[in-house]
């Protein structure tokens, strides 16, 4: 899959430039590797090798519009980098109740470490599997399943972490 990620860098005007990072979600390493000295998680191998593509995919995006740039089925992480170089990692969670569902809804859930990300993923996979079984038995429609998953994510995360709706 390539552990695809997006990285949104805050601009002085409060908007964000969105960049692509192939393998950027692996171990949430970019959360530690993006620094003022290495803004694109640079590596010095045979010259300059950025882990984050320096060419933006989108420019001047409002924070509230960032979810519109994250396909929750395609990306495994979104990093938001502030002007003070604080890097927040978000996991995209897709609410499609079946593998062939065309639902675009989901959420971006803030995580603070690779261990935290594993916890969130494990909980979400289990919850989504239960909802999938309920849909397969005809007890919920796909739309009702999406509403159910959104409510469960919001309830489970409470005020412990930020959740941004997608779709």
Provide mean pLDDT across the span 106-127: 96
pLDDT band at 166, cuts 50/70/90?
very high
For β-strands 5-10 and 48-49, DSSP reports them as unpaired
How far is it, in rounded angstroms, from Cα 66 to Cα 91? Answer: 13
Give yes or no for residue 21 having a pLDDT over 80.
Answer: yes
Nearest Cα to 24, choosing from 3, 39, 9, 49? Answer: 3
Give yes or no for residue 16 having a pLDDT over 70.
Answer: yes
Element (H, E) at 119: helix 114-136
Q: What is the pLDDT of residue 2?
A: 74
Q: What is the pLDDT of residue 43?
A: 74
Give yes or no for residue 67 having a pLDDT over 80.
Answer: yes
For β-strands 48-49 and 43-44, DSSP reports them as antiparallel
Cβ(157)–Cβ(163) under 8 Å?
A: yes
pLDDT band at 46, cuts 50/70/90?
low
Give yes or no for residue 71 having a pLDDT over 60.
Answer: yes
Give yes or no for residue 1 having a pLDDT over 60.
Answer: no
Provide mean pLDDT across the span 123-146: 93
Residue 160: C-alpha distances to residues 78, 87, 116, 129 (Å): 19, 18, 12, 23
């Amino acid at each position: 899959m390539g552990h695809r990620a997006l990285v949104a860098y805050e601009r002085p005007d409060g908007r964000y430039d969105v960049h692509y990072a192939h393998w950027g979600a692996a171990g949430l390493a970019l959360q530690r590797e993006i620094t003022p000295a290495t803004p694109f998680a640079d590596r010095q191998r045979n010259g300059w090798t950025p882990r984050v593509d320096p060419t933006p995919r989108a420019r001047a995006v409002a924070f509230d519009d960032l979810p519109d740039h994250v396909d929750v089925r395609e990306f495994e992480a979104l990093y938001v980098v502030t002007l003070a170089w604080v890097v927040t990692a978000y996991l995209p969670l897709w609410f499609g109740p079946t593998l062939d569902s065309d639902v675009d809804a989901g959420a971006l859930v803030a995580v603070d470490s690779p261990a935290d990300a594993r916890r969130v993923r494990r909980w979400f996979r289990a919850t989504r599997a239960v909802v999938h079984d309920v849909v397969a038995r005809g007890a919920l429609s796909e739309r009702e399943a999406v509403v159910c998953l959104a409510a469960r994510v919001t309830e489970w995360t409470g005020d412990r972490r930020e959740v941004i709706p997608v779709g």
